[in-house]
Structure 1
Amino acid sequence: MKIIDAHHHFWDPVANYHPWLRDEPMIPFRYGDYSSIRKPFMPDDYDAVSRGWDIVATVTMEGEWDPADPVGEAHWMQDLANRTGRPAAHVAQAWLDREDLAEVLSVYKTLPIVKSVRHKPRANPAPGGPAGGMMDTAYREGFRRLADSGLMFDLQTPWWHLDEAMDLAALAPETPIILNHAGLPSDRSAAGLAGWEAALRRFATLPQSVIKISGLGLPDRPWALEDNRAIIRTCIDVFGPERAMFASNFPVDGVCGSFDVIFSGFDAATRQDPEAARRALFHDTAHRVYGL
């Protein structure tokens, strides 16, 4: 199976400033202790962890680079791609509610690998709280301006904010929204999974929506197919293979499991699916969506 890894990171926090990878104390993190990934992760490191899998292209995700230098990471990634041929595409940092957004987007138009942007909106720690950042006026105006840039939007938010994402999407219905990490189904109780699936089904009615099946780890627990099979199958059922893609989220998900364990899980969970569906999930959807 030829694979496009639709979401991972390259970073060098020794040479470049990523606050969460350099500063002390470490931030609260959904997987717990992440000290093991506070080091460079470059193409050679990726090759080492993914050995044995036929990775034909990858898409890198912004790694929370120094916000005082909003285009620095994208320039660094474009230079890396020019030198090594990787990544094939990049999702760049863009603060939708900052005054420099127009300038940042104009820079991204000059960088061929930048296909999408991400700005994690302010979120509540659990369902039932007040509106999150996607309802802020400045954030919404920034999202609307993405339509003029031709860039897509990668959205990372807990599932209980997806109705707000649908409201946001109406401001620019032509802008693809790529939901990161399966909508973050961290609460695996029956009630939590029911709420997640219902929100996912509503969000999937947006023609512009796509999902990445990644980031499925649980804190202080090794990645296991028995924990994640139902999540994987629900994502595929809700969005269809033509709007879903697999991704490693490495090195972050390396906190929970090896690359081989995670992709073997994706493989096992779809073993009975038609080959065309598997090609879409492992390769074709990412190829089409990111214009590779």
Structure 2
Amino acid sequence: MKLIDAHHHFWDPVRNYHPWLRNEPMIPFRYGDYSTIRSRFMAEEYDQASQGWDVVASVTMEGEWDPADPTGEALWMQGVADASDRPAAHVAQAWLDRDDLSAVIDVIAELPIVRSVRHKPRANAAPGGAPGGMSDPAYRRGFKALAEAGLMFDLQTPWWHLSEVPAMAELAPDVPIILNHTGLPSDRSPEGLAGWRAAMEAFARMPQAVVKISGLGLPCRSWSIEDNRDIIRQAIDIFSPDRAMFASNFPVDGLCGSFDTIISGFDVATQSYGDSERDALFVGTAARIYGIEAVPK
């Protein structure tokens, strides 16, 4: 089975400054202690992690590079791709509410490797409370600017903020919005899962909405198909295989399970789907959305 890994990271925090990977103390993190991933993770480390799987292409995600150097990571990643033909596409860092957004877009939009941008909006720790960052006028203006540059938007936010997306999306309805990490269904109580499903169903009604099924780890638990099968299948059924794709989120999700455990879990969870549906989930959707050409058959 072939795979396009639609979301993973390359980083080398010894050479390049990622504050969360270098600074002390470490930041609070949803998987807990992340000290084991504060080290180089490049093609060699990725190949070791993914051995046994036919990864035909992949998409790298920004890794919260030094905010004082807003185009540095995208330029560096373009150099990595030029030297090795990997990755096939990159999601660049860009702060939608910063005054320098226009200048940043001018640079990253010219890089062949860049397809999309990510800026995690401000979020509440739990449902309820004040609106999050997607309600800020400056953030919305930044989202609209992506349309003019022909860029997509990768959105990472907890499911309880998805209700803010439609008002923002109206400003640039042609910009694809790719939801990262399955909407972060961390609360696995019946109430939490019901809220997650309702939010995902509402989000999926927008024609430009796509989902990456990834980031399903739970703190202090090893990744298991028992924990995640129903969420994987519900996400697929809500969006359809043509608007869903699988991703490893490595090395981050390596805190919860091996590459083989996670991708094998996606395989097991989708055994009842047809061959064309599985091809879309593992290869086709990511290739179409991120413009990855010449995927081996």
Moved over 4 A (4+): none
Aligned mates of 1:134, 1:126 — CA distance in 2: 16
1:117 aligns with: 117
Q: What is the one-letter code of the residue matched to 1:203? A: F
1:64 aligns with: 64
Aligned mates of 1:109, 1:228 — CA distance in 2: 36
The answer to whether structure 1 residue 129 and structure 2 residue 129 are counterparts is yes
Aligned length: 292
Aligned with 2:106: secondary structure?
A: helix
1:109 CA drift (Å): 2.0
**Partner deviation per Cα, 1:130-188 (whole Å, 9 max, x = no partner):** 10000011101111111101000000000000010122111110000000000000000
**Partner deviation per Cα, 1:80-109 (whole Å, 9 max, x = no partner):** 001111000000000000111111111012
1:217 aligns with: 217
Aligned with 1:58: secondary structure?
A: strand
The answer to whether structure 1 residue 164 and structure 2 residue 164 are counterparts is yes
Q: Which runs of 5+ in 1 are unaligned?
A: none
Aligned mates of 1:11, 1:189 — CA distance in 2: 35
Q: What is the one-letter code of the residue matched to 1:239? A: F
1:290 aligns with: 290
Q: What pairs up with 1:74-223 in 2 under 5 angstroms?
A: 74-223=74-223
Aligned mates of 2:230, 2:205 — CA distance in 1: 21
Aligned mates of 1:110, 1:147 — CA distance in 2: 14
Q: Which runs of 5+ in 2 are unaligned?
A: 293-297
**Cα RMSD (Å) of the superposition?**
0.5
Identity of aligned residues (%): 70
**Partner deviation per Cα, 1:185-236 (whole Å, 9 max, x = no partner):** 0000000000000000000000000000000000010000000001100100
1:42 aligns with: 42
2:9 aligns with: 9
Aligned mates of 1:171, 1:191 — CA distance in 2: 32
Aligned mates of 1:145, 1:114 — CA distance in 2: 15
Aligned mates of 2:18, 2:62 — CA distance in 1: 10
Q: What is the one-letter code of the residue matched to 1:172? A: A
1:51 aligns with: 51
Aligned with 2:4: secondary structure?
A: strand
Q: What is the one-letter code of the residue matched to 2:281? A: L
Aligned mates of 1:162, 1:272 — CA distance in 2: 29
Q: What is the one-letter code of the residue matched to 1:288? A: R
2:277 aligns with: 277
Aligned mates of 1:233, 1:109 — CA distance in 2: 35
Aligned with 1:153: secondary structure?
A: strand
Q: What is the one-letter code of the residue matched to 1:38? A: R
The answer to whether structure 1 residue 255 and structure 2 residue 264 are counterparts is no
Aligned mates of 2:40, 2:264 — CA distance in 1: 25
Aligned mates of 2:111, 2:104 — CA distance in 1: 11
Q: What is the one-letter code of the residue matched to 2:157? A: T
Aligned mates of 1:260, 1:129 — CA distance in 2: 39
Aligned mates of 2:169, 2:239 — CA distance in 1: 17
Aligned mates of 1:283, 1:221 — CA distance in 2: 28
1:60 CA drift (Å): 0.2
Aligned mates of 1:141, 1:173 — CA distance in 2: 13
1:240 aligns with: 240
1:2 CA drift (Å): 1.1
Q: What is the one-letter code of the residue matched to 2:134? A: M
The answer to whether structure 1 residue 24 and structure 2 residue 37 are counterparts is no
Aligned with 2:250: secondary structure?
A: coil
Aligned with 1:144: secondary structure?
A: helix
Aligned mates of 2:194, 2:204 — CA distance in 1: 15
